[in-house]
Amino acid sequence: MEYIKSKIRDVADFPQKGVMFKDLTTAFKDPRALHIIGWDLSQLYRDKGVTKVVGIESRGFIGGSILAFELGAGFVPCRKPGKLPADTISATYDKEYGKDTIEIHRDAITEDDIVVIHDDVLATGGTMAAAYNLVKQFNPKRIYVSFIIELSSLHGRDVLPADAEVTSLIKY
């Protein structure tokens, strides 16, 4: 993980003053780092029977797609309103600076699925909690939660449901 950490760029005061943003795009553009991320993520779920990976817009699409490919699972996008073309279900949640909404196709997941919900960074946890609650409405067999980075000082795990099995490759 030290190699991955060395490829993550810190950006001060983004998206607002006082925030130190962990920018994974610098790791994603490095072939070795991207390979390590994909491999390490997939090893967490290799023997769990995962059938779908839900990636949260937008950086969650990157790791989520790689994870789905590595596991031989389907990929399901979880997007902002109006971006998915068919019938959706949605969840609105509080963010640090307002409210936001995410959506998923109504036919994306079945009760037979084992799902990993993936996003790049666990910060305050609001987006993932909303995505988890959306996926839970489908009553899949099992739901796992995956991040590349977890910012432990923001206590994002505390807002996730108690039954969520959460894994992060890197903790700060």
Rounded to whole angstroms, the Cα distance separating 116 from 49 reads 10
**pLDDT at residue number 159:** 94
Section 11-40 average pLDDT: 95
Section 35-39 average pLDDT: 97
Q: How many other C-beta atoms lie within 10 A of the C-beta of residue 61?
A: 18
Section 88-106 average pLDDT: 90
| Active-site amino acid positions | 59, 96
Which pLDDT band holds residue 64 (cuts at 50, 70, 90)?
very high
Q: What percent of the chain has pLDDT over 90?
A: 93
Which pLDDT band holds residue 39 (cuts at 50, 70, 90)?
very high
**pLDDT at residue number 16:** 86
Instruction: Indicate the pTM of the whole model.
Output: 0.96
All structural domains of the chain, each given as residue ranges with its CATH number in brackets, are 49-171 (3.40.50.2020)
**Is the pLDDT score of 61 beyond 80?**
yes
Per the structure block, which two tokens stand in for 95?
Answer: 């963010």
Which pLDDT band holds residue 157 (cuts at 50, 70, 90)?
very high
